[in-house]
Structures are given as structure tokens and as C-alpha cells.
Structure 1
Amino acid sequence: MYRKYIKRLLDIIFSALSLGILSPVFLVTAILVRAKLGSPVIFRQRRPGKDEKIFTMYKFRTMTDRKDENGELLPDGERLTGFGKKLRSTSIDELPELLNILKGEMSFVGPRPLLKEYLPYYTKEEHHRHDMRPGLTGLAQINGRNDLEWKARFHIDIQYIKHVNFRLDSEVLFRTIAYTVRKKDIKSGNEMVMKDLDVERQDKIDC
């Protein structure tokens, strides 16, 4: 009952309320992003959602468009400014995902939506992380965040899918808020040492 009906109903109610309550934060953040990083203010990226259906995920922009002498974008870590790091460390950059939740493309809690380029590199079991809507936060995010290796992160995602209930979702949300306030286990830019999933697993195939 909770998984099929109540979870989505709560997503609708609380995403609508949050968008109304946080509208001043949206406005101020949008103005600052435009002034410090330029346009567009909202970063859009195609990600796989429930049943691996591709949707457009929204976030506040956190990086510049700086390029090298060949006109190629610099690495993410070099384009991420101090202001962008603050947006990420406070998770303010994630607020536009409330629109994805209201539209039914995401949920407050679920496996985080990753790059669509990673889909061919999942194991058969790991594809089940898409049996539910992706989340603004998830069980993996309160159990290591950026410090988790891919295999461990996916294992936690699958365990969440198998055991989702109201109590678990409430725990994930409350612990996420606590972690964000304390800025625990959060890394960004050059501090992010995880290898991209496609690179990591292709390396194993080549070996």
C-alpha cells in the first residue's frame, strides 16, 4: 500500500509545499547563480528514471563554462567555483529536483539518478535500482555518500528497493537533513576520487 500509493501521494503534497515555502530561496539562489556563474541558471541533464525511462533532471548550475586553449571544457574540478561548492555542500543545488518530484519523475527517497551512459555497465541485479523512481536522496547517501564504491552503493540501492516502507523513508530523510547540516561525508570537485562507473568497469574488462 505504502509503496504503490502513499509514497507518491506524500511526494506530491510535500514537493508542492516545499516549492511554495522555499520560493524565496529559489529566487535568491537563481539571482546569485546568474551573477556569479552566468546563464543558464538551471542545469539540465538527461537521466534514467523508473523502468530506465529517460527524463530531464533539474539542478542549479554550479560550474562555469571555462575552456582550454583548444576550446574544450576544463575538467569539472577546475570549473567548480567556491560558490558552486557551497551550493553543493548545502545541497541547495538539488532544490530544482522538487519539480521533478512534483512531475512524478522522481521521489524524495530512492536510488539517486545516475548518468544514462552507465546503463550498459550495470549487472542484471543492479538494473533493479530502476524498479522505483529515483530519489532526491537515498539510503546510500546516508551510508557513506561519496565515499562508497560503486558496488557497495548499488548493493544498498537494491536493499532499499526490497525493503522500502514509510519508516525507512522517514529515517533516510531525517538523517539526510542531519548530514547536510553537519556537512558529513560530502566531497566535491577535485576531492571526488571515485572513478566514473563506465571507466571503472571498462578497465576491468580490458584487464
Structure 2
Amino acid sequence: MPEKGCSSSKRLLDLILAIPAALVIAFPALVVAILVRIKLGSPVLFRQSRPGRGGALFTMLKFRTMTDARGPDGQLLPDSERLTSFGAWLRSTSLDELPELINVIRGEMSLVGPRPLLVEYLALYTPEQARRHEVRPGITGWAQINGRNTLDWESRLQLDTWYVDHQSLWLDIRILAATVGKVLKREGITQEGSVTMSRFRGSQDTM
């Protein structure tokens, strides 16, 4: 587990940066919210339970990017059919991530850390992979500036645990600076042949 001093300093950095950022992007976020409401309908926010530090569950907030279109059987259509061009644009610009600043201010997330993944993955991690939950999940992270969604699962989870072992304020600042460049270049948004990251299936994905 990270030292208490490091954790406290990291939390202070989160608040120093996240609160002013939330104020600055308030108007742009409102514009995005209105566009989401017009183009995709309600709800404007996508809410989903995700595991945070220690595996504790919290509700992650994002702007909605997909429709709720369903097939004749009542099941949601595949992501590729529900992701609109507007939703794809939100993802490519990372504007869909803006509401996560609320999670950071609440203390559920950090600006930097392993990305919060699906709850169902908790039972699939190896003990080493599960160490990603020793720290708060982040809006961006070491894996995000080193390939993001183009990485295979083994590489992605190894980068997450590397961050847990090497985290520092200087590393966080370095990651935040690199993230700006990645967002502007729109790098690593999707895996080849998929509109979203492929699902993690446990050991068979890390062999």
C-alpha cells in the first residue's frame, strides 16, 4: 500500500487541480450536456458501479455516448450499433470523461491512477493484477499514456501495477502533462476492429 504521506499529498494535488478545473469547464460541460440530451436523449449522464480503492464500489459518472437501442429480444444491441457519430466524437475528444471530476472531488477517484474497470472483472484478476486496487482509480493513468485501449490486457494490467509500485507526485504530474498531448492527438481511443475495449476474460487474456 502507498505510504500515508504520499496518499495525503496525492489527495491534496487532486483537490488543488480538480476544483478549479471543474469551475473552468462548467460552461463547456453544460453545452455538452445539452447536446447529449438533444442527440441521445435522457439520461444525460452514464452512471455505472465500478470498484475503487480496496475494491469498494462507487458510481462512476460520464457523459452518455450510446443509445439504448434494443433488438427484438429486448436485449441491448452491440456497442458498435449503439455508438453514434456524436458519441464517437465525445469519446475521441475525451469530453465524455468530464463528469469524472465530480468523482475526484468526492474522493472516489484520483486524477491519476489505474482506470476503474467493470465490477465483474474483480473475480478474474490474479493476486498481482488485483493490486491495481491498492490506490484510487484515475481519470488517466500510466497505461493511458502508454497505449490506452490499443494495449492487450496483460500489458495494461502490468502497467497498472507498475504505477502502484512507483507512484509519486512527480510521476502524476508527468502523466497529466502527457495526457494532454494524447487527448489533443486523439491517440489510443479504440482497439483495432472494435469501437470499445475488448472484454477481459481472466487468465486466458493474460497468457
Give the TM bin, normalised by the shorter chain. over 0.9
Quote the residue 2:71 is aligned against: 68
Change (3 A) 1:89 1:169: same
Quote the residue 2:167 is aligned against: 164
1:47 and 2:50 matched: yes
Is contact 1:62-1:93 (8 Å) kept? yes
| CA RMSD after TM alignment | 2.0
Cα-to-partner distance string for 1:138-187 (whole Å, 9 max, x where unaligned): 00011111111111111111110101112211111111110110112222
Cα distance in 2 for residues equivalent to 1:204 and 1:17: 40
Is contact 2:132-2:160 (8 Å) kept? yes
Q: For structure 2, list consecutive stretches of 5 or more residues without a partner in the other structure.
A: none
Is contact 2:52-2:136 (8 Å) kept? yes
Cα distance in 2 for residues equivalent to 1:170 and 1:118: 29
Is contact 1:78-1:189 (8 Å) kept? no
Is contact 2:149-2:188 (8 Å) kept? yes
Cα distance in 2 for residues equivalent to 1:204 and 1:182: 29
Give the CA deviation at 1:195.
3.3
Cα distance in 2 for residues equivalent to 1:201 and 1:127: 13
Cα distance in 2 for residues equivalent to 1:32 and 1:91: 15
Q: For structure 1, list consecutive stretches of 5 or more residues without a partner in the other structure.
A: none
The sequence identity of aligned pairs, in percent, is 50
Give the TM-score normalised by the residue count of structure 1: 0.93
Quote the residue 1:196 is aligned against: 199
Quote the residue 1:142 is aligned against: 145
Give the CA deviation at 1:34.
0.2
Cα-to-partner distance string for 1:178-199 (whole Å, 9 max, x where unaligned): 011011222279634753113x
Choose which of 1, 5, 22 in structure 2 pairs with 1:19: 22
Cα distance in 2 for residues equivalent to 1:150 and 1:2: 31
